[in-house]
Structure 1
Amino acid sequence: MSAPQAPQPTVLDGIVAGVLEDLAVRQATISEADLRAALADVDPPRDPMPHFRGPGSSVIAEVKRKSPSKGELADIPDPALLASEYAAGGAGAISVLTEQRRFGGSLDDLRAVRAAVDVPVLRKDFIVTEYQLLEARAAGADLALLMAVSLPGARLAQLHDYARELGLTVLLEVHDEDETARAVEVGAELIGVNARNLKTLEVDLDVFGRLAPLIPDDRVKVAESGIFGPQDVERFVGEGARVVLVGEALVRESGSGGPREAVRRMTGITR
């Protein structure tokens, strides 16, 4: 009888492995004590939830240079300028990709955006350690992304609680029914349903409609991936989303009014 084959690494496995390698370099350079000391110079965290719970749809607009699924998306020499356009268009928060290898981002991007806008800023990365959350707050982030798929067992609750201790609002991302149940159980106030399967990179726009009813109405539901215009926002708002997270469609926007008007067109949509 042949031995069972080991599972093949997924796209997500490869990304997290690279993230941990890069993290080890930063940890060897900047101690946790140094990060904690830096917190004294950071403004208090901004709370995005009043905006997200307000009337009409809210947009988390993303600074995103490239992705594993689409490759190069946009040349963004000045993330602060792009973020300022998003804020002027009414974005409820700005998401900044800080993963370098696959997305071309950095914590320097986040710092530049934080210095340029008054709206809350989200660190979007593959966060699997407390150190990364401390990095996020020290760089001025108000929110941090946690993904249930990469945080098995008790790690999800541990990192969620630690983020809250730091004053960070958690955007807890889910992809299936089991992850959704775990997100609800840990008490996440902001739950994102990603239509993109991070193990295969395939997109299924029906995922939000399937998972949203499993999320209590006192939580804020966020639709992620596959959003390219107001018609997509209308669909997800109709299925229960209060917030949409949009990246590719905004960084590639070159039409009338650019990213500012694109955000404005997706904001304020009601059922």
Structure 2
Amino acid sequence: MKNILEEIVDRKRVEVEFSKKDLPIEKLKDFQYYGRSTNSINSSLLDETKTGIISEFKRSSPSLGSINGNASLETVIRAYDTFGASGISVLTDHQFFGGSSQDLIKARSLTNLPLLRKDFIVDPYQIYESKAWGADVILLITAVLTEYEIENYAELAQNLGLSVLLEIHNEDELPKNLINSINIIGVNNRNLKDFKVDVNTSIKLYEKINPAYLRISESGISSVDTIKSLKELGYNGFLIGECFMKEKSPERAFKQFVDELKG
């Protein structure tokens, strides 16, 4: 029996094959944002005037089902921008997370902050998509890619001007050698096979990560105290979504969280 991650990846491969036929790479290059210069997520995460938070817009997830189907993308993105996010993550997977390419394209028109395309990248085609849709950063998930794919996809992204966030879940998934085309290592505190969350995963793995990479903690962060502890440890950033999106007013929740963080 397949776990949820395997189901998502299998579905994603089917979607990509359809997209390749429907919209070849040469057509993607005609998109409005394909030729734009991208914004540096590294610079934004290291900017001390910002929070270090990559705040996320998502409507649903396999673990929770519907999170906030009525949230206004425009309102939430503008709030993330206004109140101090270092970057914004936008889910583009539709079947499992309720996102779309249009969410990312719309977000690009609303902010100059670095945008992370949050999806399950299993084919180089999706990297061209990400560039065309206005992303500055792509996510590569170690659990679904080979070492060869990671290196090649990261190099392609770099050639397109995109930054790369490599997501790991355990020590075995760390790159064996330094990969210069990877900008950030993200420790996902959520196990993608069973969706259990343990923030201690970030604590355990911090020292194992090559300091040449920026380091961020992802998932399961819902308190300012957790951020302060992880900052003291040395983490450069924090990917947070459900903490804000599950609230009736994600924009207000984000502002209140940042106000408390700045204290």
Is the TM value for this pair above 0.5?
yes
Provide the C-alpha distance between the structure 2 equivalents of 1:239 and 1:85, rounded to a whole number of angstroms: 28
Q: Name which of 39, 44, 58 aligns with 1:51.
A: 44
Provide the C-alpha distance between the structure 2 equivalents of 1:104 and 1:266, rounded to a whole number of angstroms: 30
Report whether the alignment pairs 1:102 with 2:96.
yes
The unaligned stretches of length 5 or more in structure 1 are: 1-7
Partner in structure 2 of residue 13 of structure 1: 6
Q: Which stretch shifts more, 203-212 or 50-59? A: 50-59
CA offsets per residue over residues 47-93 of structure 1, 9 Å max, x none?
12112123374010000101111111112453122111111111011
Counterpart contact for 1:89–1:262, Cα < 8 Å: no
CA offsets per residue over residues 130-149 of structure 1, 9 Å max, x none?
10010000011011111111
Partner in structure 1 of residue 174 of structure 2: 180
Q: Identity of counterpart residues, as a percentage?
A: 30
Report whether the alignment pairs 1:34 with 2:27.
yes
Counterpart contact for 1:57–1:266, Cα < 8 Å: no
Provide the C-alpha distance between the structure 2 equivalents of 1:95 and 1:40, rounded to a whole number of angstroms: 17
Q: 1:256 to 1:102 in 2, by over 3 A?
A: closer
Q: Name which of 225, 232, 236 aligns with 2:226.
A: 232
TM-score, normalised via structure 1 length: 0.89
Q: 1:76 to 1:162 in 2, by over 3 A?
A: farther
Partner in structure 2 of residue 80 of structure 1: 74
Partner in structure 2 of residue 203 of structure 1: 197
Secondary structure, counterpart of 1:193 in structure 2: strand
TM-score, normalised via structure 2 length: 0.92
The unaligned stretches of length 5 or more in structure 2 are: none
TM-superposed deviation, 1:260: 4.1
Superposition pairs for residues 67-216 of structure 1, below 5 Å?
A: 67-182=61-176, 185-187=178-180, 188-216=182-210
Counterpart contact for 1:85–1:259, Cα < 8 Å: no
TM-superposed deviation, 1:22: 1.8
Which amino acid in the other structure matches residue 9 of structure 2? V
Provide the C-alpha distance between the structure 2 equivalents of 1:238 and 1:150, rounded to a whole number of angstroms: 31
Equivalent residues, number: 261
Provide the C-alpha distance between the structure 2 equivalents of 1:260 and 1:53, rounded to a whole number of angstroms: 20
Partner in structure 2 of residue 24 of structure 1: 17
Flag the structure with larger Rg.
1
